Structure 1
């Protein structure tokens, strides 16, 4: 497992954990995903992509907030990963984060799961 964090006295801590699986990976961002923190998530996704780790499950249980920068990062990653033959699954979104995806229609282009467990079951089932 890889773990990267950032934060300051003026900003809440943001972190990303990467759990490599036999097939694919789970990326778990924690905190507020916005223009200040999105680079950490991009680095984690890019590392999994460079290793060919597909599918990728984004465990959103620890996200309290996601702005348009975070949404755009996830959309771009989905496109890149799907072009490479992989998939991105989103799991366990809080109501606040889920609402951003609903309002923008982004929930229609991702495989969205209520829990991490159901996302992993879907990934394992192929």
Structure 2
């Protein structure tokens, strides 16, 4: 079971993703994102909160970050939204396993933003 809740916060919209994001549920995520943008609720940053995802297959990953390099997808969103700041929230074990201390600086240069922060985050 997959669900998307859209929360409007002061600075922008948050898509709260829960359950299992797979091939069948990517349509639901795409529709929620398109609706958020069409209603103007995405005037500020649009954030996908994945903390409550129990499962995400390759189809879900592609829907979230596109094909290929995830930083290229982040860069395209930064350009599209004229953003100057990126915040990456990820589960602590993922941060510890896959990111080194220099990754945020390298990513910031590749994405070309003034700020890029990587934080460990978990919902408990």
CA RMSD of aligned residues (A): 3.4
Aligned-residue offset at 1:14? 0.9
Q: How does 1:7-86 map to 2 (within 5 A)?
A: 13-50=1-38, 51=40, 52-76=42-66, 78=74, 81-82=77-78, 83-86=80-83
Aligned residues: 98
Kept after mapping to 1: 8 A contact 2:92/2:120: no
Kept after mapping to 1: 8 A contact 2:88/2:119: yes
Aligned-residue offset at 1:89? 4.4
Query: Secondary structure of 1:61's partner?
Result: strand
Gaps of 5+ in 1: 1-12, 118-126
Kept after mapping to 2: 8 A contact 1:61/1:94: no
Q: Give the structure with the higher percent helix.
A: 1
Gaps of 5+ in 2: 67-72, 99-103
User: For the pair shown, which has the larger CA radius of gyration, 1 or 2?
Assistant: 2
- RCO comparison, higher one (Cα < 8 Å, 6+): 2
Distance 1:61 1:74, change over 3 A: same
Aligned-residue offset at 1:54? 2.6
Query: Secondary structure of 2:27's partner?
Result: helix
Kept after mapping to 2: 8 A contact 1:14/1:33: yes
